[in-house]
Structure 1
Amino acid sequence: MMRVSERTAAGAGLAAAAYHVTKRFGRTVALDDVGIEIHDGQSHALVGRNGAGKSTLVSILTGLQAPDSGKVVFGGRPAPSLGDRDGWRRNVACVYQRSTIMPELSVAENLFVNRQGRTLISWSKLRRQATEILESFDVKVDVTTPASDLSVEQRQLVEIARALSGGARFIILDEPTAQLDGPAIGRLFEKMRTLQANGVTFLFISHHLQEIYEVCQEVTVYRDARHIITAPVSELGRAELIDAMTGEPGGLSVPGATDRDLVDPAGAVALDVRNLSGDSFTDVTFQVRAGEVIGLAGSASSGKHQVAETVYGLRRSTSGAIEAAGRKVKPGSVPAALRHGIGCVPRDRHHQGLVLDLTVAENAAMTVMNKLGPGGFVPPGRMTAVGARAIGSYDIVTSGPDQPVADLSGGNQQKVVMARALAGDPQVLVLINPTAGVDVKSKESLLGVVDRAARAGAAAIVVSDELDDLKVCDRVLVMFHGRVVAEFGRDWTEHDLVAAIEGVSER
């Protein structure tokens, strides 16, 4: 095991470092004597399972929290005091998975948030300076554009430009690709390489392990609040990396459709989508039979998310029909979808899947409240029982059913969303980005739930940008510019699937 120890007092060649950092929250040890050294001009990956301590380290590296013991240095100099926010901004900036861009402000206004002081604002000067900033970092965005109109990719680039313009040369990217499609990820990586060549340093946090091999030079693994290993990426194989993250040999085991019996092509149709049109898609038709899992693949602009959200009632179709077990489903109505046995893991767990202030039990029971007690009144014992069953069935790491879901790691929050979706034993399950932002073992667990649901006779739709997620599918439909352009069976290859997603070939 390679440990992080203090180098020379000058910290030569290090953009940032943390030494012997420990942080506790009550009885929970979030970091236990950990360290990290990030070299100038590199992209350094920080990986680990949900709850490993990554987020706590980021909060300490950005000055949002002080460690109980240990220290942080930038370029060999001690970090500023917590109250010196300008000092921290000159040393480090973080682009979070959940954007800190303010949607009601323009791009120019976002670039200068907290930087105007008490002086009277000259709007023409502000817009001119904003344009100069974006041009200097080759970010092609109109500074007068409302931030709410930006794509996810544009928001991230604006945040990076804002950080660099404030003087920081060390940028933390926290799950930056979670909401990007393939081409946008490629453009982000190219931007990172260009900035690295100009002396910018990145700490790159991702659950997509392949990305680490594409863009990073070193990797540090945390597990159970401890530092496990730091090594050059070129010297650490994927299986070794997963072993370090999980503490278990054998790497990731994702359930595959080939392990299940073939679905009878004449079997009962659980979901029938006919000539469906709506926001960003046109004339989509497919059927899903009982016990079958189909995937919807495509770029971010393909319409795949919108189709899935329309099936569940989060969006209203403009034409076409949806039937569940032969009964027509009222369009644009989540309650109607639930009554027809359709459950959903939505795209955004924080805004659509969970009520963060409520407990594990309350969230898990949300779709079956009408079955637990008359008039919406649920006896506490029944609520607790639902929570306890969810914890046991989905391996949710929590102190108990009464713990607020806001206190859980991302992977365990996603398991609560899955428990909520399956609480009513739906016959059709719609899963949108079901493993986004979760660690490798949580991914294995969540996909295992899909596999078990199919074996029990449920139908499922899996919408994902991650090819591993699609291995559980019996068929994969590829969408391109709002239409289904290709269909693959269980024997799909990565080459053919990616080519269809990118519009290189249609079959």
Structure 2
Amino acid sequence: MTEAESGVPLAEARGVSKRFGSTVALADARLRVMPGESHALVGRNGAGKSTLVNVLTGIFPPDAGEVRFDGEPAPSPGDRDGWRARAACVYQKSTIIPELTVAENLFINRQPGSRGVIGWKRMRREAADLLAAWDVGVDPSAEAGDLSVQDRQFVEIARALSFGARFIILDEPTAHLDNAEIERLFTRMRGLQESGVTFLFISHHLQEVYEVCQTVTVFRDARWIATEPVSGLPRDALVEAMTGEAAELGRSTGHREPVTSQVRLEVTGLSDGAFQDVSLRVRRGEVIGLAGSSASGKVELAETLVGLRRPRAGRATLDGTPVPFGDVRRAVRAGIGFVPRDRHRQGLVPELSVGENATMAIAGRLGPYGVVAPKRLRAAANGSIADLDIKTWGPEQPVNGLSGGNQQKVVMARALAVEPRLLVLINPTAGVDVKSKEALLGVVDQIRQRGTSVIIISDELDDLRPCDRVLVFFHGRVTAEHAAGWNDHELVASIEGVSQ
């Protein structure tokens, strides 16, 4: 037992389990956060971190186990004031309302006043006192939408502290900060720790764990794996705990010869708010992967290439012709196919049939004068159903009646219908079963042999195994490249920003 474990934890989870239907989100999970420390919680996507945060903040009651604060049982599930007085989370996506002032955000739903009349002067005064007490240099009269990302974070921390909570969870707090802002955040965290505030720090950037945390807990596959002092934990050992693979034994993708065909996509100096100065080449028949944390900029770059976004600077060409930024229809006509990250919100029209969804991108080819001929639609849809082995009773079936895996195949069919020269896939196997995953990734091998270039953007390592190269994004920049033959350990280390 370490010295930290010998005292009473400020926050503790004991044997916590949580299921959602057949999905095990947490299994006998545990966590001990000691007063005044900054405690890191790390793990790959799906490790159970988010579910544990929801349990620790009273959003989800555990199915088994218990949560304790300062040695006492957690409040009952319906006691929101009790939970707010003990724990709060500052999420990656801000909960600050931009149209309100800082003071209004600090005291929302508890504004000072009497007889239903808000005391505006008193609220601004109390807001100023609260911000000063926690050294947050923000004007309480300023509109929250005008604040920087970091100042919004500080306002959220101050709001949580005003309820009496001294256990603050920071969920990916550095995702949208530059290096100077990150250092300012860490300085502020250290000052708050000295004032008696305790942090649970969640980050995909392991280098930051070593900079700001004293203890780290690792989750993998919804289970607790280890809790160790940061100072005595080698970086390789931390990555090994997260992946379950030793550095020398990590699963390899197998070596492949580099692709040397003609360059198809050339990106030069592309920049936006989420990524900076990105340059890359993709050759004919080459498959490259883009890896990185959820806020690394990889998804935004992909959405720029397919016409969903317009960059601030830089250029991209496809077979020598400029890529039409900010125009999805022109991108499709230019030969760019696309599977979006969320099939429900971006990929399917649930009220339409399988055939209508699968052929939507080529509707103009299915009849004269823009009128779709049913026979042509049915023939094209039947071809896609056969090619991708979509389990349906026919093209007329409503797409919302299919399983998740078959819905994803319909989205893939629509992308392939345009016979793309470049196919961009974002999280192509998210939420599908193992057989559907194999089928979807099998399509990549088929089309690369026909000369189609493919970019795969994914948080799942298995999605990246068909790639000839994987580029790693970190804080909006390409920081590493791994040729086929990478193993899980070295790729995860690059994604997490660990110096080797």
**Preserved contact between residue 315 and residue 332 of structure 1 (Cα < 8 Å):** yes
Matches within 5 A, 1:38-437: 38-116=33-111, 119=114, 120-250=117-247, 268-271=262-265, 290=284, 311-316=305-310, 323-343=317-337, 355=345, 369-370=359-360, 402-403=403-404, 426-428=420-422
> Aligned AA for 1:166?
F
> 1:96 & 1:357 partners in 2: Cα distance?
27
**Preserved contact between residue 359 and residue 402 of structure 1 (Cα < 8 Å):** no
Give the Å deviation of 1:37.
0.8
> 2:19 & 2:47 partners in 1: Cα distance?
13
> 1:196 & 1:376 partners in 2: Cα distance?
68
Q: Aligned residue for 2:432?
A: none
> 1:230 & 1:143 partners in 2: Cα distance?
40
Give the Å deviation of 1:54.
1.7
Evaluate the alpha carbon distance shift between residue 123 and residue 28 of structure 1 in structure 2; reply closer, same or farther with a 3 A threshold.
same
* TM-score, L = length of structure 1: 0.65
**Preserved contact between residue 348 and residue 357 of structure 2 (Cα < 8 Å):** no
> 2:40 & 2:96 partners in 1: Cα distance?
24
> 1:333 & 1:147 partners in 2: Cα distance?
32
**Preserved contact between residue 431 and residue 460 of structure 1 (Cα < 8 Å):** yes
Evaluate the alpha carbon distance shift between residue 13 and residue 419 of structure 1 in structure 2; reply closer, same or farther with a 3 A threshold.
farther
Give the Å deviation of 1:101.
1.6
**Preserved contact between residue 336 and residue 421 of structure 2 (Cα < 8 Å):** yes
Percent identity, please: 49
> 1:197 & 1:205 partners in 2: Cα distance?
20
1:284-308 per-position Cα deviation (integer Å, ceiling 9, x unaligned): 9997654679999xxxxxx999887
1:220-263 per-position Cα deviation (integer Å, ceiling 9, x unaligned): 2222222222222233323322332233333767989xx77667
Give the Å deviation of 1:78.
1.4
**Preserved contact between residue 423 and residue 453 of structure 2 (Cα < 8 Å):** yes
Give the Å deviation of 1:428.
4.0
> Aligned AA for 1:402?
S
Give the Å deviation of 1:155.
2.3
Q: Aligned residue for 1:30?
A: 25
Give the Å deviation of 1:25.
2.1
**Preserved contact between residue 269 and residue 288 of structure 1 (Cα < 8 Å):** yes
1:393-421 per-position Cα deviation (integer Å, ceiling 9, x unaligned): xxxxxxx972499xxxxxxxxx99x9799
1:9-57 per-position Cα deviation (integer Å, ceiling 9, x unaligned): xxx4411001122222223332222221111111112222322222221
Give the Å deviation of 1:192.
1.7
> 1:28 & 1:463 partners in 2: Cα distance?
25
**Preserved contact between residue 87 and residue 168 of structure 2 (Cα < 8 Å):** yes
**Preserved contact between residue 49 and residue 219 of structure 2 (Cα < 8 Å):** yes
**Secondary structure of 1:167's partner?**
coil
**Preserved contact between residue 259 and residue 468 of structure 2 (Cα < 8 Å):** no
Matches within 5 A, 1:487-498: none
* TM-score, L = length of structure 2: 0.66
**Secondary structure of 2:47's partner?**
coil
Give the Å deviation of 1:383.
8.3
Matches within 5 A, 1:475-486: none
**Preserved contact between residue 365 and residue 423 of structure 1 (Cα < 8 Å):** no
Give the Å deviation of 1:93.
0.3
**Preserved contact between residue 292 and residue 474 of structure 1 (Cα < 8 Å):** no
**Preserved contact between residue 365 and residue 387 of structure 1 (Cα < 8 Å):** no
Moved more, 418-427 or 37-46: 418-427
> 1:222 & 1:276 partners in 2: Cα distance?
36
> 1:479 & 1:173 partners in 2: Cα distance?
18
Evaluate the alpha carbon distance shift between residue 122 and residue 17 of structure 1 in structure 2; reply closer, same or farther with a 3 A threshold.
same
Give the Å deviation of 1:387.
8.3
> Aligned AA for 1:57?
L
**Preserved contact between residue 263 and residue 292 of structure 1 (Cα < 8 Å):** yes
1:98-133 per-position Cα deviation (integer Å, ceiling 9, x unaligned): 221223322222222232278422223323332333
> 1:243 & 1:285 partners in 2: Cα distance?
31
Structure 2: unaligned runs, 5 residues or longer: 291-296, 367-371, 391-400, 429-437, 459-463, 484-500
Aligned positions, number:
441
**Preserved contact between residue 48 and residue 222 of structure 1 (Cα < 8 Å):** yes
> 1:488 & 1:225 partners in 2: Cα distance?
29
**Preserved contact between residue 40 and residue 201 of structure 2 (Cα < 8 Å):** yes
> 1:234 & 1:283 partners in 2: Cα distance?
35
Larger Rg: 2
Output the aligned Cα RMSD: 5.8
> Aligned AA for 2:122?
K
> Aligned AA for 1:104?
E
> Aligned AA for 1:107?
V
**Secondary structure of 2:174's partner?**
coil
> 1:43 & 1:151 partners in 2: Cα distance?
24
**Preserved contact between residue 86 and residue 166 of structure 2 (Cα < 8 Å):** yes
> 1:123 & 1:263 partners in 2: Cα distance?
66
Structure 1: unaligned runs, 5 residues or longer: 297-302, 390-399, 406-414, 436-444, 492-507
**Preserved contact between residue 95 and residue 159 of structure 1 (Cα < 8 Å):** yes
> 1:80 & 1:194 partners in 2: Cα distance?
29
> Aligned AA for 2:235?
R
> 1:136 & 1:207 partners in 2: Cα distance?
31
**Preserved contact between residue 462 and residue 473 of structure 1 (Cα < 8 Å):** no
**Secondary structure of 1:138's partner?**
coil
